[in-house]
Chains A and B, each alone.
Chain A
Amino acid sequence: MHFKRKLLAKACILLTLTLMLALPATAAEKVLMMATTTSTDNTGLLDYLKPHFEKATGIELKWTAVGTGKALALGKNCDVDVLLVHAPAAEKKYVEEGFGVDRREIMYNDFVIIGPESDPAGIKGKNVVDALDAIRAKGAVFASRGDNSGTHKKELALWKSAGGVVPEKESWYVQTGQGMLATINIAAERNGYTMTDRGTYIKYADTLKGNPPLKVLVEGDAILLNQYSVIAVNPKRCPEAKYDLATTFSNWMAGAEGQKLIADFKLLGKPLFTANAK
């Protein structure tokens, strides 16, 4: 009995030690560090692109997936080499201020407004402005990211075009401060509406076996386009940033191989992104 216990303990120690020593070998010396948004990571797009990119260029791609606000801040602090983000207005300002260079449009998906099938505010099929007006008039629950991400910025812009004021302090306006899927789940729990990028929505519908409680109610409006761009961190401000690797990445994403792979990336048979590099 005592012997057995000793053996078990020894096995545990041994296993712990083995785990600590089993370091994953990082062979590639060329490493590109990217800050990107939760949407590109959560949909699995980057996991899908990474091996192709490494094979084509020999550069190891590493990324940290955060909101666009934080991604831009990481670039500002020279902590990453390249950005893949989607907040055109903020991006242009960022480049003007000299933090980033070579902004290049790569692909887009679109935003949709989703809500419960019962549709308490009756927004189905309306355009964005009318739909948001109806939600505001009804005081129906609306979940907002509230995290300064690209999606959040887009949503704020939409509220401004629909009546001018963001319903910041209204009790029905729920600011989650979390990622897109977490926000969709909160909207679903509260039987409310939210705005999401289509890619995350398809992924969400996929995890719920194609029968999600929230359905797409408003889509196809031109102002719902969601443009993604690659921006290299300005090498003049950040001498340690790997500008050459960032350029290789940008060229590959905008080139034939990257664009085809993006267009071929499907979930539930639906393409998630439309490649549109010029």
Chain B
Amino acid sequence: MDFILAGFFEAIRLLLGGDAQTWSAVAATLKASTGSMAVSLVLGIPLGFVLGYVDFPGRRQTRLLVDTALALPTVFIGLVVYAFISNRGPLGGLGLLFTLRGIVVGQTILALPVVIALSAAAVENMDRHLRTLLITLGASRRQLLFSSLWEVRFGLLAAGLAAYGRVMTEVGISMMVGGNIKWHTRTITTAIALETGKGMFATGIALGLVLIAIAFMVNVSLSFLRKR
């Protein structure tokens, strides 16, 4: 039990003391998660918008597939991505294995369904009269699209945050694809797994608190955007 309290003080020491290994893991986590979130948002929001807004044949089935993909286990994604980017795999030549870019690929597969499903849901729940109103006001298709997107911005923000939470906290993909290589692909979560395996529970707790502190900072930044 005492290692929880010890971990708390250790966390403060690691962050304020500028521990190089911790900051390297923080940087790896931020780089990988920022990369995968950027790709997921750019691809996921338009796809989610189409899924929630347009009535196309096979829409329900697509929805079902996306919702199922929400349950993809991270270790499984890691294994499948590894199979593809291993030097013996079809994409081996890209040199993605044991790199942050490889982790980004895996995390994008993890985050994309979350972004698509939640932004589709946000669009579906949008006030149906808005469309009619906008058309009555003489809005062009373009204006219609952007006004609708603006209307559901908080829903999209929530979708992004939910996906970010999954991406930052996953360990299966980072471990399998990244290899937990010190100074390179060691993220906070794989470092926690390593320290726990070494029996250094206090350090594990400390790194967990560091991760929560970063999540807090990200949320503070976003709540600022929301205020405006």
Contact = CB atoms under 8 A, between A and B. Distances in A.
Interface of A: 5-6, 8-10, 12-13, 15-16, 19-20, 22-24, 26, 33, 38, 41-42, 47, 62-65, 76-79, 178-179, 181-182, 184-185, 203-204, 207, 238, 240
A77 B88 contact: yes
Contact of B181 (A22, A64, A182, A185): A64
A23 B184 CA distance: 10
A195 to B, nearest CB: 17
Contacts of A78: 86-88, 92
A132 B14 CA distance: 44
Contact of B223 (A9, A19, A38, A76): A9
Given A24-B27, A62-B184, A77-B86, A12 B217 contact: yes
A6 to B, nearest CB: 7
Contacts of B24: 24
Interface in B160-205: 179-184, 194, 196-200
Contacts of A63: 181
Given A77-B88, A79-B87, A20 B27 contact: yes
Contact of B221 (A13, A65, A204): A13
A10 to B, nearest CB: 8
Q: Please tell me the size bucket of the interface on B.
A: 20 to 34
Contact of A12 (B88, B97, B98, B221): B221
B223 A203 contact: no
Contacts of A22: 23, 27
B220 A12 contact: yes
Nearest to B86: A77
A240 B89 CA distance: 13
B88 A64 contact: no
Contacts of A62: 98, 181-182, 184
B195 to A, nearest CB: 10
Contact of B196 (A23, A41, A64, A182): A182
B212 to A, nearest CB: 14
B224 A5 contact: yes
A204 B197 CA distance: 11
A206 B206 CA distance: 20
B39 to A, nearest CB: 15
Nearest to A9: B224
Contacts of A20: 27, 30-31, 34
B217 A33 contact: no
Contacts of A19: 23, 26-27, 30
Interface string B90-104: 001000011000000
Nearest to A208: B199
A2 to B, nearest CB: 9
Contacts of B92: 78
B217 A15 contact: yes
A62 B34 CA distance: 24
Please list the 5 inter-chain residue pairs (A to B) with the smallest Cβ-Cβ separation, ordered nearest first. A9-B224, A64-B179, A78-B87, A179-B197, A181-B199
Contacts of A16: 30, 217-218, 221
Contacts of A33: 98
Contacts of B30: 16, 19-20
Given A16-B221, A19-B30, A203-B198, A79 B97 contact: yes
A269 B124 CA distance: 67
A64 B27 contact: no
A38 B197 contact: yes
Contact of B199 (A10, A65, A204, A238): A204
B198 A23 contact: no
B228 to A, nearest CB: 9
Interface in B114-164: none
16 contacts: A6-B224, A8-B220, A9-B220, A12-B217, A12-B221, A16-B217, A19-B23, A20-B30, A24-B24, A63-B181, A64-B98, A77-B86, A78-B92, A203-B199, A204-B199, A207-B198
Interface in B14-67: 23-24, 26-27, 30-31, 34
Given A13-B224, A20-B30, A65-B180, 13 more contacts: A5-B224, A6-B224, A9-B223, A12-B221, A13-B221, A16-B217, A24-B184, A42-B198, A47-B182, A179-B197, A203-B199, A207-B198, A240-B87
B172 to A, nearest CB: 14
- Residue of A15, A38, A42 ringed by the most chain B CB atoms within 10 A: A42
Interface in B212-228: 217-218, 220-221, 223-224, 227
